[in-house]
C-alpha cells in the first residue's frame, strides 16, 4: 500500500460524513486501525479489511475497484529495486551489530535476557520496550555482543526507524539481509512472497542472532522473524506490540540514581564528578535518570571544561530550561520525545500535553476524562490513555489504596508536554484546565471529608465545583483510603490554587483536608496547608473563610505545641467572629481563646471564656458539646472535678446524638479525665476502653495513644505496675512517632510517677527532667510547675533536701504568679500525703 491509499481512505470517509470512530464501527474494525491506515502506518491491509471498509463506505463498481487497487501490495516497491549493473560479493558470516556504547546498571537485565536466549532451544523473540532515550538500543547491542560466541553464523542488525514518520519497509530489510547472507543482488527476488521464502531458506540450519531496532508495528516485524530452528531475535520498540504473540517482553526502566551518577562519571570523567558529588546527584535527578539525558548532560560537560557540574545543574533546574539544556550535537531529548508525540493521533497529542499540566507526580485515570474540551460532548479517554501507555509516554503504576488505577509521566516527558500545551493550546486554556481540575479535586475532597466520620466540621457546608461521578462514589465509599491515595495531590493543590489566584479554592481545600490530616497525624502537611491558605484568604478579603481557616490553624498549632502564632490568632479570631456575628464561629473563637489561656496556666481567664461560650450556645448549637467539654476540663484543671462532671456527661450525650466516631472518642477521653479526678476510676476506665476502640477503628493514632496513656495512669493507681508500664511506653512510642512533644511529656511524667510508686525515686528523675525540659521549652508554666513539684518529691526521697527545696520553690512561684492553689498541681494521693515532708 502506498500513502495514496491513506489519503484516499481519508477523503472517502470525509465525503461520507463519518468520523474515524463511526467508520470503524460500521466496518467492525478498531478505530486505531482506521487511524493507522489513514496515516500510512499500516502498509498492507488484509483483503478482508479492505472489503469491510469498502462496504462501510458504500463503494461500488469503478470506485470500489480503485479503492482495492490503491490498497494492493506492489509487486516490487521502487525502494527495493537495485541499480542495474551493480554487484555485491556474498557475506557468509555477517557481523552487523553497531559498536557497544557505555552502559551502567544494566548488567542484571543483560544477563537475564542472554540466559533466556541461550537456554531455549527455539527461543521466542525478545522484545525490549520503553520510551525513547531509555537505552533500549544500547541494551540490545550489548546483549548481541555478549552472545556472539553462542551464534557462530553471525548477527544481523536493522534500524526499522519505527519512531520516524516513514518507517523502513520490512521487505526492503529482507533484501538487505539476503545480500548479507550471501545471495547475489541479482538473485534477490522482487516478489515480496518469494523474497520472504528465500529469506527463510537462507536462515534454515544457521544459528544467528537478529537485532531489530525501533520497530513500528507488529506487521513490520513479523516478516523479519527467523524460523524457530536455532536463530534468535531481539526487538526494540517504543510500543508494546501486543499482537506480537509469543514474544517475551522486558520493559527497560530508567536508571537508579547511583547508576545514573556512575554513567555521568564514565562519560564526563570520574575525577570531575567525584569532586562535586552533590551537584552530580542534582544533575542525575534533573535528567530523570534517563540514559539519553545523562549522556547528553555528560557530553555538555565534556566539551565545556570551564563549566562546573553545579553550573550544569543550575541550567537543568532553571524554570523552562531543562529541555534546552539537554541537547548536544545530534542528541536531543526534546527531539526524541517529539518523535513519539508526532506519531500520535491529534486527540492523543492533546491528552498528553494536557496531562503535562497536572501538577502532581501521579494521578488516577479519571483525570484523563476531565481533560477534554468543555464545549464538546463528554467522552471516555480510556482508549487514548491506553495508547499513551502503549507508546511509553505515560506509565501505568497500578491501583492505589482506594482501588483507582494511577498513572504518571516521566519528568522530561511532563516538561515536553507542558511546552506543547503552552505552544499549541489556545490562550488561557492551560490555566482553565488546571483550575477545573483543582475544583474537581476540591469537590471530591468535600465528599470524602463529609463521610470520613471525624466530626471536626472544619469545612462543613463548603464546596467548590462539581465532583466527577465515578471518583466521587469511590471517595465516599472509602474516604480514608481515598485521602491516603490523594494526600500528595491535594496538599500540592493548595499551593497550586494560590499560585493561580484561587484563594477560595485554596481555603476550602485546606479545610476539607484538615480533618484527615489531623486524624492521621500528618503534622507538616496539616500546618503547611493551613498557613498557606490563611495567607491567601487574608489577601483575598474572604472574611468568613479567613476566620474558619484561622480557627482550624489554631487547633493544629495547639495539637503540635506550636505556641508562637497563637496570641495573634486568638485576637484575630475573636475580632473577626464578633464582626461577622455568626454564633457558632464566635463560640469557637471563645473556646479557642479559653484553650490558649488554659495552656498558659491562666485558668480563671480560660473559665471565663468558656462560660461566655456556653452562654452563647443555643440548645441546638453544634458547638454546645464543644463548649461543655472545654469548660468541664478547665474546672478539672482547677481542681473542681465535681463541678465538671455534669457538664462532661452532657457533652458525651450530645456527641453520641450527633455521631462522628472520632469526636465521640475525643469526648470520652475528656470525660474519662474528669471521672478519674472525681474519684470514679471504674467509670473512667470504661470510657477509656470505648475511646480506645473508636480510635483504633478510625485510625486516629494520637487519640489511641492518649487512651493508652490514661489507662496506664489508672493501672498505676491500682498498683498494676507491669500493665501501667506497657501501656505508657506504647503511648510514648506513638507520640514520638507523631512528633507530639507535649503528649510525650505527659506520658514521661507518668513513667516518673510509676517509678515513684514502685519506690524507685532515682529512676523517676530522668523522665521527670525530660518532661520538665519540654514544658520549659514550650513556655507552659503550669505544666512545668507540676513537674517541679514531682521532682521535689523525688529528690527529697533521695535525701537531697537542697534540690528538693529548689524545685518546690520554683513550683510555688508559678502558683503564686498564676493565682492558683495546690489543687491545680493535680498530684496523686501519695504525693499529697508527703507534701509536709518536702
* Predicted confidence (pLDDT) per residue in 42-73, tens digit: 655 756 577 778 888 988 888 888 888 888 76
E strand or H helix at 577: helix 566-580
> What pLDDT score was predicted for residue 63?
86
Q: Choose the weakest-confidence range: 244-248, 560-564, 731-735.
A: 560-564
Please provide residue 831's backbone torsions phi and psi, each rounded to the nearest 5 degrees: -70, -40
Q: Any idea which residue has 463503494 for its cell?
A: 59
Cα 697 to Cα 701: distance, rounded to the nearest angstrom: 10
> What pLDDT score was predicted for residue 79?
40
Distances (CA, A) of 66 to 23, 52, 62: 19, 15, 6
Mean pLDDT for the chain? 89
Cα 742 to Cα 100: distance, rounded to the nearest angstrom: 61
Which residues, other chains included, contact 148 with Cβ-Cβ below 8 Å and sequence gap of 6+? 95, 97, 155, 209
Mean pLDDT, range 774-784, rounded to an integer: 93
pLDDT at 173 > cutoff 60: yes
Torsional sign, CA 544, 545, 546, 547: positive
pLDDT at 249 > cutoff 90: yes
Cα 331 to Cα 459: distance, rounded to the nearest angstrom: 52
CB contact at 8 A, 454 and 662: yes
Neighbours of 143 (CB within 10 A): 25
pLDDT at 516 > cutoff 60: yes
Q: What is the pLDDT of residues 100-121, one digit of tens each?
A: 887 899 999 999 999 888 876 6
458: left (phi over 0), alpha (psi -120 to 50) or beta: alpha
CB contact at 8 A, 263 and 292: no
Cα 786 to Cα 755: distance, rounded to the nearest angstrom: 16
Distances (CA, A) of 274 to 261, 277, 299, 311, 769: 10, 5, 17, 15, 46
| DSSP codes, 729-765 | HHHHHHHHHTT-HHHHHHHHHHHHHHHHHTT-HHHHH
Distances (CA, A) of 425 to 13, 286, 340, 349: 27, 26, 19, 11
Q: What is the pLDDT of residues 460-503, one digit of tens each?
A: 889 888 899 999 999 999 999 999 999 999 999 999 999 999 99
Cα 721 to Cα 739: distance, rounded to the nearest angstrom: 26
Cα 581 to Cα 567: distance, rounded to the nearest angstrom: 21
Cα 68 to Cα 394: distance, rounded to the nearest angstrom: 37
pTM of the model: 0.74
The vertex-621 CA angle with 618 and 623, nearest 5°, equals 120
Amino acid at each position: 500500500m502506498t500513502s495514496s491509499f491513506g489519503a484516499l481512505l481519508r477523503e472517502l470517509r470525509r465525503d461520507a460524513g463519518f468520523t474515524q470512530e463511526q467508520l470503524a464501527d460500521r466496518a467492525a474494525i478498531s478505530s486505531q486501525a482506521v487511524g493507522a491506515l489513514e496515516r500510512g502506518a499500516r502498509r498492507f491491509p488484509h483483503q478482508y479489511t479492505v472489503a469491510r471498509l469498502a462496504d462501510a463506505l458504500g463503494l461500488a463498481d469503478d470506485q470500489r475497484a480503485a479503492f482495492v487497487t490503491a490498497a494492493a501490495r506492489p509487486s516490487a516497491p521502487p525502494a527495493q529495486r537495485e541499480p542495474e549493473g551493480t554487484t555485491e560479493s556474498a557475506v557468509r558470516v555477517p557481523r552487523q551489530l553497531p559498536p557497544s556504547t557505555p552502559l551502567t546498571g544494566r548488567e542484571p537485565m543483560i544477563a537475564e535476557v542472554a540466559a533466556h536466549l541461550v537456554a531455549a532451544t527455539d527461543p521466542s523473540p525478545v522484545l525490549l520496550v520503553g520510551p525513547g532515550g531509555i537505552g533500549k538500543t544500547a541494551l540490545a547491542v550489548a546483549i548481541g555482543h555478549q552472545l556472539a560466541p553462542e551464534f557462530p553464523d553471525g548477527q544481523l542488525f536493522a534500524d526499522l526507524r519505527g519512531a520516524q514518520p516513514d518507517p523502513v519497509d520490512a521487505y526492503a530489510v529482507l533484501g538487505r539481509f539476503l545480500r548479507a547472507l550471501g545471495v547475489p543482488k541479482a538473485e534477490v527476488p522482487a516478489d515480496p512472497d518469494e523474497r520472504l521464502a528465500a529469506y527463510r531458506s537462507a536462515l534454515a540450519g544457521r544459528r544467528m542472532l537478529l537485532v531489530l531496532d525501533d520497530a513500528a508495528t507488529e506487521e513490520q516485524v513479523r516478516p523479519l522473524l527467523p524460523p524457530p530452528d536455532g536463530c534468535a531475535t531481539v526487538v526494540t520498540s517504543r510500543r508494546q506490540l501486543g499482537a506480537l504473540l509469543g514474544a517475551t517482553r522486558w520493559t527497560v526502566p530508567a536508571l537508579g540514581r547511583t547508576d545514573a551518577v556512575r554513567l555521568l562519571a564514565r562519560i564526563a570523567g570520574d575525577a570531575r564528578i567525584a569532586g562535586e558529588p552533590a551537584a552530580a546527584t542534582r544533575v542525575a535527578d534533573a535528567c530523570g535518570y534517563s540514559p539519553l539525558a545523562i549522556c547528553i548532560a555528560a557530553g555538555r560537560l565534556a566539551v565545556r571544561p570551564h563549566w562546573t557540574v553545579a553550573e550544569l545543574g543550575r541550567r537543568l533546574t532553571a524554570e523552562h530550561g531543562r529541555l534546552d539544556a539537554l541537547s548536544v550535537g545530534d542528541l536531543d531529548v526534546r527531539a526524541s520525545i517529539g518523535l513519539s508525540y508526532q506519531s500520535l493521533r491529534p486527540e492523543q497529542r492533546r491528552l498528553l500535553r494536557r496531562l503535562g499540566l497536572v501538577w502532581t507526580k501521579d494521578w488516577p485515570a479519571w483525570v484523563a476524562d476531565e481533560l477534554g474540551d468543555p464545549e464538546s460532548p463528554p467522552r471516555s479517554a480510556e482508549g487514548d490513555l491506553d495508547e499513551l501507555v502503549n507508546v511509553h509516554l505515560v506509565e501505568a503504576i497500578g491501583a492505589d489504596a482506594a482501588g483507582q488505577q494511577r498513572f504518571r509521566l516521566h519528568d522530561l516527558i511532563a516538561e515536553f508536554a507542558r511546552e506543547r500545551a503552552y505552544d499549541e493550546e489556545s490562550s488561557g486554556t492551560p490555566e482553565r484546565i488546571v483550575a477545573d481540575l483543582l475544583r474537581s479535586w476540591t469537590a471530591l475532597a468535600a465528599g470524602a471529608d463529609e463521610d470520613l466520620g471525624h466530626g471536626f466540621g472544619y469545612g462543613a457546608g463548603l464546596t467548590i465545583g462539581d465532583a466527577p461521578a465515578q471518583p466521587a462514589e469511590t471517595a465516599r465509599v472509602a474516604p480514608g483510603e481515598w485521602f491516603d491515595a490523594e494526600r500528595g495531590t491535594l496538599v500540592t493543590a493548595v499551593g497550586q490554587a494560590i499560585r493561580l489566584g484561587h484563594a477560595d479554592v485554596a481555603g476550602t481545600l485546606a479545610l476539607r483536608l484538615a480533618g484527615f490530616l489531623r486524624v492521621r497525624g500528618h503534622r507538616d502537611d496539616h500546618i503547611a496547608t493551613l498557613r498557606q491558605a490563611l495567607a491567601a484568604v487574608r489577601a483575598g478579603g474572604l472574611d468568613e473563610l479567613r476566620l474558619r481557616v484561622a480557627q482550624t490553624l489554631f487547633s493544629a498549632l495547639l495539637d503540635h505545641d506550636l505556641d508562637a502564632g497563637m496570641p495573634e490568632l486568638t485576637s484575630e479570631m475573636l475580632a473577626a467572629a464578633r464582626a461577622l456575628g455568626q454564633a457558632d464561629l464566635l463560640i469557637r473563637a471563645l473556646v479557642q481563646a479559653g484553650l490558649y489561656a488554659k495552656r498558659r496556666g491562666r485558668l480563671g481567664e480560660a473559665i471565663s471564656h468558656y462560660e461566655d461560650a456556653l452562654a452563647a450556645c443555643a440548645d441546638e448549637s453544634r458547638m454546645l458539646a464543644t463548649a461543655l467539654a472545654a469548660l468541664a476540663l478547665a474546672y478539672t484543671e482547677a481542681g473542681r472535678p465535681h463541678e465538671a462532671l455534669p457538664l462532661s456527661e452532657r457533652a458525651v450525650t450530645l456527641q453520641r446524638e450527633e455521631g462522628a466516631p472520632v469526636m465521640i472518642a475525643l469526648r470520652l477521653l475528656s470525660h474519662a479525665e474528669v471521672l478519674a479526678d472525681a474519684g470514679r476510676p471504674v467509670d473512667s476506665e470504661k470510657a477509656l476502653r470505648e475511646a480506645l476502640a473508636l480510635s483504633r477503628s478510625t485510625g486516629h493514632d494520637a487519640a489511641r495513644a492518649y487512651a493508652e496513656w490514661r489507662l496506664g495512669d489508672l493501672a498505676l493507681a491500682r498498683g498494676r505496675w507491669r500493665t501501667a508500664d506497657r501501656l505508657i511506653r506504647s503511648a510514648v512510642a506513638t507520640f514520638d512517632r507523631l512528633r507530639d512533644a507535649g503528649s510525650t511529656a505527659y506520658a514521661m511524667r507518668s513513667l516518673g510517677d510509676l517509678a515513684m510508686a514502685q519506690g524507685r525515686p532515682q529512676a523517676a528523675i530522668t523522665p521527670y527532667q525530660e518532661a520538665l525540659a519540654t514544658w520549659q521549652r514550650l513556655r507552659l508554666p503550669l505544666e512545668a510547675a507540676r513537674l517541679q513539684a514531682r521532682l521535689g518529691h523525688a529528690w527529697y526521697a533521695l535525701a537531697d533536701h537542697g534540690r528538693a527545696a529548689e524545685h518546690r520553690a520554683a513550683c510555688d512561684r508559678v502558683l503564686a504568679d498564676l493565682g492558683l492553689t495546690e489543687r491545680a498541681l493535680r498530684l496523686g494521693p501519695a504525693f499529697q500525703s508527703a507534701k509536709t515532708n518536702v
